[in-house]
Amino acid sequence: MLKKYLAYIMLCFAVASAHAQQPDAEGSLVKWMTLPEALEKVKTQPKPIILDFYTDWCGWCKRMMATTYANPGLAQYINTNFYPVKFNAEGKDTINYLGTVYAPTSTAPRTTHPLAAKLLQGKMMYPTTLFLNGFDRTKNEFQFSMLASGYLDDKKIEPILIFTLENVFRNCAYEDFKAQFDVAFNDPNTEAKLKEVKWKTPKEAFKNGETNSKKKTLVFIHTEWCNACRVMQRSTFVDSTIAPYVNSKFELVDFNPELTDSILYKGQTFINPRSPQMPFHQLAMAFTRNNFVLPTLAILDENGQLLDAVPFYVHPNFLNDIAHYYGEDVHKTKKWAEYIAAKNKPATK
């Protein structure tokens, strides 16, 4: 069962067309490009960048090309969702990186390129992979940057790819996400815990157009193909430190925005147009305040009115804060920032 889920979370990494790819001289199926090419593309069609730092003499660099990047499904996933760049850390090219020109300092072999020294923060270990996302054209910078040193096999790189691509970094540190990823897909107790979570469908939750509970409601908006969603569903909502409180204070609604049912809500009928312009359910869009992000956690009051919509992956600790802020009606007297500041204020002796 766990292998089944791991295979699925690789994005459905195993795409049939991947098998038709031809490996390069090093065995890699990833379609590598130069850094200038990637930087030019990201300006008009934003995608994350994977920057693989290597040297000609690095054996583990070659091994990573012939193993990790030779995985057909993984390579297809990277080719589809990232701009993959190979960068010779001892290369001799002059490169303009975000407005600054970096030129080689010597023609001698094994001389580190100044840009490699900068991006690797002086830690010249090979291979090292740099993950970039959130390019801001106005500031000419990336909002997210993370280094992963050493050889990365399939299992090591999987959570990093999801963390980078699906903007998990906006709400969570990588090590915290990695721990939850392991809970979601490697913990033998997870399947039993999942059965204890009492989800309702949107039809059940909003029967006759109203909520049918005296509780507030958490609406989890997600899809099967959203990997951060699957981690959140299989770890955050089953976490023993928060699950009992959440279940006592809230109704839980499992909302796949690809749902085709018509739903009556607050006197209005919402549908899924299933058009190229609108492939998702109108009610899901309403709950995200038309800022459609996967996953999104929408919080409704006892009357079904939308209180808040929290985009991106939510870690158990974050859910704990959200649940108590709304579950104890703190939101009626304090702003979120005040609540968090007071909660994190060191206790005085």
pLDDT at 7 over 50: no
Residues 102 and 219 occupy one common structural domain: no
Question: What is the per-residue pLDDT for 9?
Answer: 45
Distance of CA 314 to the CA centre of its chain: 10
State which residues form the domain around 231: 191-344
Please state, for a pLDDT cut of 70, what percent of the chain lies above it: 93
Question: What is the per-residue pLDDT for 70?
Answer: 97
For the segment 73-101, what is each residue's pLDDT rounded down to a tens digit?
999 999 999 999 999 999 999 999 999 99
Cα–Cα distance measured from residue 210 to residue 266, given in angstroms and rounded to the nearest whole number: 6
**Is 182 within 8 Å of 205 (Cβ atoms)?**
no
Residues 145 and 246 occupy one common structural domain: no
Cα–Cα distance measured from residue 334 to residue 344, given in angstroms and rounded to the nearest whole number: 15
Residues 71 and 211 occupy one common structural domain: no
Q: Which residue has the higher pLDDT, 15 or 116?
A: 116
Residues 113 and 28 occupy one common structural domain: yes
For the segment 266-303, what is each residue's pLDDT rounded down to a tens digit?
999 999 999 988 899 999 999 999 999 999 999 999 99
Parallel, antiparallel, or unpaired for β 216-221 and 250-255? parallel
**Averaged pLDDT, 53-57:** 97
Question: What is the per-residue pLDDT for 207?
Answer: 84
**Averaged pLDDT, 41-56:** 97
Question: What is the per-residue pLDDT for 343?
Answer: 87
Coil vs helix vs strand at 97: strand
Q: What amino acid occupies position 191?
A: E
Cα–Cα distance measured from residue 162 to residue 294, given in angstroms and rounded to the nearest whole number: 12
Coil vs helix vs strand at 247: helix
For the segment 218-270, what is each residue's pLDDT rounded down to a tens digit?
999 999 999 999 999 999 999 999 999 999 999 999 999 999 999 999 999 99
Q: Which of 165, 199, 216 is the last residue of a domain?
A: 165
Kindly indicate the confidence band of residue 345, based on its pLDDT and cuts at 50, 70 and 90: confident
Instruction: Based on DSSP, count helices (H) and strands (E) in the chain, helices before strands.
Output: 14, 13
pLDDT at 17 over 50: no
Cα–Cα distance measured from residue 177 to residue 227, given in angstroms and rounded to the nearest whole number: 12
Cα radius of gyration rounded to whole Å, the chain: 23
Residues 133 and 270 occupy one common structural domain: no
Kindly indicate the confidence band of residue 209, based on its pLDDT and cuts at 50, 70 and 90: confident
Residues 251 and 125 occupy one common structural domain: no
Cα–Cα distance measured from residue 139 to residue 43, given in angstroms and rounded to the nearest whole number: 12
Residues 139 and 71 occupy one common structural domain: yes
Question: What is the per-residue pLDDT for 347?
Answer: 65
Kindly indicate the confidence band of residue 344, based on its pLDDT and cuts at 50, 70 and 90: confident
Cα–Cα distance measured from residue 10 to residue 71, given in angstroms and rounded to the nearest whole number: 11
Q: Which residue has the higher pLDDT, 17 or 112?
A: 112
**Averaged pLDDT, 22-48:** 95
- Let me know if residue 181 belongs to a domain: no
Question: What is the per-residue pLDDT for 349?
Answer: 57
**Is 185 within 8 Å of 217 (Cβ atoms)?**
no
- Let me know if residue 248 belongs to a domain: yes
Residues 144 and 215 occupy one common structural domain: no
Beta bridge partners, 218, equal 252, 299
Cα–Cα distance measured from residue 327 to residue 108, given in angstroms and rounded to the nearest whole number: 65
Residues 142 and 14 occupy one common structural domain: yes
Cα–Cα distance measured from residue 266 to residue 272, given in angstroms and rounded to the nearest whole number: 17
Parallel, antiparallel, or unpaired for β 296-300 and 306-311? antiparallel
Most confidently predicted of 16-20, 144-148, 344-348: 144-148
CATH number of the domain bearing residue 306: 3.40.30.10
Question: What is the per-residue pLDDT for 3?
Answer: 38
| Domains: count for the chain | 2
CA distances from 276 to 128, 272, 325 (A): 39, 11, 38
Question: Burial code of 255-294, b = ≥16 C-beta within 10 A, e = fewer?
Answer: bbbebeeebebeeeebebeeeeeeebbbbbbbbbeeeebb
For the segment 193-208, what is each residue's pLDDT rounded down to a tens digit?
999 999 999 999 998 7
Q: Which residue has the higher pLDDT, 49 or 6?
A: 49
- Mean pLDDT value across the chain: 92
Kindly indicate the confidence band of residue 165, based on its pLDDT and cuts at 50, 70 and 90: very high
Question: What is the per-residue pLDDT for 151?
Answer: 98
Beta bridge partners, 308, equal 299
Residues 238 and 145 occupy one common structural domain: no
Task: List, in order, residues 6 or more apart from 205 with CB less than 8 Å away.
Answer: 211, 212, 217, 219, 251, 253
Cα–Cα distance measured from residue 158 to residue 293, given in angstroms and rounded to the nearest whole number: 21
Question: What is the per-residue pLDDT for 16?
Answer: 40
Residues 106 and 8 occupy one common structural domain: yes
Q: Which of 149, 165, 181 is the last residue of a domain?
A: 165
pLDDT at 69 over 90: yes
Q: Which of 115, 131, 165 is the last residue of a domain?
A: 165
**Is 14 within 8 Å of 72 (Cβ atoms)?**
yes
**Is 183 within 8 Å of 235 (Cβ atoms)?**
yes
Residues 246 and 335 occupy one common structural domain: yes
